[in-house]
Structure 1
Amino acid sequence: MLSALWHKARDIRIERRARPALGPGEVRLRVTRCGICGSDMHEYLNGPHAIPVEVPHGASGVAAPLVIGHEFSGVVIETGSGSDLALGQRVAVEPEYRCGVCAACRRGDYNLCESMGFAGLMGHGGMAEEAVLPRYMLHPLPDKVSDRQAAVLEPAAVALHALRRSGLAAGQSVAVVGAGPIGLLLIQLAAVAGARRIVASDISDARLEKARSLGATELVNSSARSLPAVAAGVDVAFEAVGMQATLDDAIGSVRKGGKVVLVGLFGTTARFDAFDLVNREVEIIPSCGYRHVYPDLIGMIAAGVVDPSLIVTREIRLEDAVAEGFEKLAQPNEDVKVLVAP
């Protein structure tokens, strides 16, 4: 089957690999859509970061080269023993591995599993014609949720989990630092949650206009204006970039007693003024992946409450994933979310 295999940085190859055997409790999908994530781009540009190279990942048993892509949807074409899914069932993939027996899994916090990882980063993923996955990763889709929407459920789940971690209440004010895919989905979900004021910050005017269309009430191009000066006193700030400057903006924008939720992935150590945080009782809340949000998101999409596919800017063929996907996204561009359609 045709697959996008990560071998090393700047070396993703579109090549054929043998169809993997189906084990107990596993399901084979025909992949319908697979998104290119910022994490995928980091692996492509200067990885490995999360991808196991020398030692296989404990949950997947896989090391590079591996099929990249963890934001995907598909159709069931074969089931192993113990699966209750019917052939032809459309599904969304929640790609987090979980062991089910560690302390975090027993608490229900499976996103903090001791064997935590993601299909498409620590095991074979969805940028291929087919994928084999454990049944627990799959969520049946109603007819009212499209394949395109289902492929963007994964970043939407990241956003919804972060929103829930924040405890955002209707009528509160929000700053979202970074109008990339996660930031834009945070804006859409915060608007649905009843935030009365949503300040979006980015260096791209095009992305800021997209933020406005999804519910942002104020826009700040941070290359020209200071976010803390504009958004000073918001209840919650979401840092969705992973840089020191954007962390400083997020902390500087919240009121006394406010909350800063860390969603962006920092590649290096971040710094903060501990005295300022203590003096203002500002909470720093990390948010990792997601747990127990897919069913609610699927219901919200089916009801027309949210549409995560509004962030999709292009769809491309699997054969073109490197040239039209990874390479173009590595250059300055106005893309937000690119989907690969095997």
Structure 2
Amino acid sequence: MLGLILKQPGQLELQELQSLSTLKDDEVKIKVIYGGICGSDIAVFKGKLKHASYPVTPGHELVGTIMGAGQDVEYTIGTKVVVLPNSYCGTCDMCVKGKTNICRHKESLGVNADGGFSQEFVISSRFVLPIPEGVPDERAVLIEPFAVIIHAFQKVEMTKDTSVAIIGCGTEGMLAVSLAAYLGAQVTAIDINQDKLENARSFGKIRTAMPDEIKDETFDVVIEAAGVQQSVEQAIQIAAPGGSVVLIGLTPEANVPVVRVVRNELNIYGSIIYNFPSDYTKALEYLMRDDFHVNPIISEIIPFKEYERAYEAAATGKFGKIILDFKEGNGNRAHCSSIR
């Protein structure tokens, strides 16, 4: 089988890999259909994640079908699944409290464990979620990143009267815009890229703005999805008294105006990945609805053999989600304007 190997930062190669014929009792072998390129994949490629290990097979946003199963696996051959890329031990104090997303022994596919940017991929059946028939692969591959937003939104109350500012219109920001708009909130999308703002407006009645256009306004809820210092600081500045700020971007550091936080009783939440399977299941429920639109999020589906072009496109930050296509006979690349 063919798969990608990141030998060291900046050195990504397509290689012939050994196909595993023997599975452990709880393992499944997955024939990969699609793999989404995430910001963390680019960070590992550039050597910007301290806990990354090399060489490593990248990729963690995965959908595929089961092509082999150990004797204790309940899923049948041909079942479509998505993958949980952040494994948890189930026994540490955080796992016992139900906070598997901050397991003390967590391993992350494509970071410090081999991921799934290959034609075949093996993982414990504990870490897959079956996908019902009829769910398009283009939607299924968004379950993992969308679960991040599902988890973040659970920290705040959002109604039709809630004013919501979302800073950063990358994949996570756009998914947040989509969900907030679907819930009927008054949404303002903020980004420095006009193309991304135009994309955000395609979700409906979305107000868009450049960061310097938001001055004296405040919002009930602010979602920070850009992951840069200026955005974190702006998020706190534009939160209304008694409002909430949810940080999902990974910013190394920022200046926090503590007096403003205290005097305005601001609620500041950090939110990392998701709990499994609950957040995955909720993400799937939304993505199964015909009136929940994700069309603007995927920019292009690219055959995996064109991985260099795909990584270059993803690394620019100018596009939406870039998807690698691992299906056989995928020689024709496809833009995703038809995905609802």
- TM-score of the pair, normalised by structure 2: 0.91
Give 3-state SS (helix, strand or coil) of 1:7's partner.
strand
1:187-236 per-position Cα deviation (integer Å, ceiling 9, x unaligned): 111112221x11100011111011111245211122xx33243xx22100
Counterpart residue number, 2:11: 11
Is this contact kept in 1: 2:57–2:114, CA < 8 A?
Answer: yes
Kindly provide the CA deviation profile for residues 53-109 of structure 1, in whole angstroms up to 9, marking residues without a partner as x.
xxxxxxxxxxx3121011110000001132100000011112220111112212221
Do the aligned partners of 1:142 and 1:302 also contact (CA within 8 Å) in 2?
no
Structure 2 counterpart of 1:298, one-letter code: L
The answer for the alignment partner of 2:239 in structure 1 is: 254
Structure 2 residue 272 is matched with structure 1 residue 288: yes
Q: CA deviation at 1:141?
A: 0.9
Moved more, 124-133 or 167-176: 167-176
Secondary structure of 2:313's counterpart equals: helix
Spell out, residue by residue over 1:223-267, the C-alpha distance to the aligned partner (whole angstroms, 9 max, x if none): xx33243xx22100011011111112111111111111000011x
Q: 2:196 aligns with which of 184, 202, 207?
A: 207
Q: Equivalent residue for 1:237?
A: 222
1:280-326 alpha-carbon deviations (Å, 9 max, x no partner): 111110001011211122122223242445400111111111x2111
Matched ranges for 1:1-342 at <5 A? 1-20=1-20, 21-52=22-53, 64-195=54-185, 197-215=186-204, 217-222=206-211, 225-229=212-216, 232-266=217-251, 268-291=252-275, 292-308=278-294, 310-321=296-307, 323-331=308-316, 334-342=318-326
Q: Which amino acid aligns with 2:289?
A: A
Q: Which moved more, 1:186-195 or 1:67-76?
A: 186-195
Taking a change above 3 Å as real, the CA distance of residues 309 and 82 of structure 1, as seen in their structure-2 partners, is farther
Structure 2 residues not aligned, in runs of 5+: 327-340
Kept in 2, the 8 Å contact 1:148–1:309? The answer is: no
Q: Is the 8 A contact 1:198 1:215 kept in 2?
A: no
Q: Which amino acid aligns with 2:51?
A: A
Contact 1:200 1:216 in 2 (8 A): no
C-alpha RMSD of the superposition = 1.6
Aligned to 2:330: none
Q: Tell me, in whole angstroms, the C-alpha distance in 1 between the residues paired with 2:296 and 2:206.
A: 18
Letter in 2 for 1:286: G
**Partners of 1:314 and 1:338 within 8 A in 2:** yes
1:94–1:138: 8 Å Cα contact kept in structure 2? yes
Residue aligned with 1:166, SS: coil
- Aligned-residue offset at 1:48: 4.4
Q: SS state of the match for residue 86, structure 1?
A: coil
Q: Distance in 2 between matches of 1:135 and 1:309?
A: 30
Q: Aligned pair in 2 of structure 1 residues 17, 29: CA closer, same or farther (>3 Å)?
A: same
Letter in 2 for 1:257: G
3-state SS of paired residue (2:108) = coil
Q: Identify the residue that residue 61 of structure 1 maps to in structure 2.
A: none
Give, in whole Å, the separation in 2 of the partners of 1:335 and 1:181.
Answer: 9
Report the residue type matching 1:303 in the other structure.
Answer: R
Structure 2 counterpart of 1:152, which letter? L
Partner of 2:338: none
Alignment TM-score, normalising by the size of structure 1: 0.90
Q: Distance in 2 between matches of 1:73 and 1:94?
A: 10
- 301-310 or 249-258, which moves further after superposition? 301-310
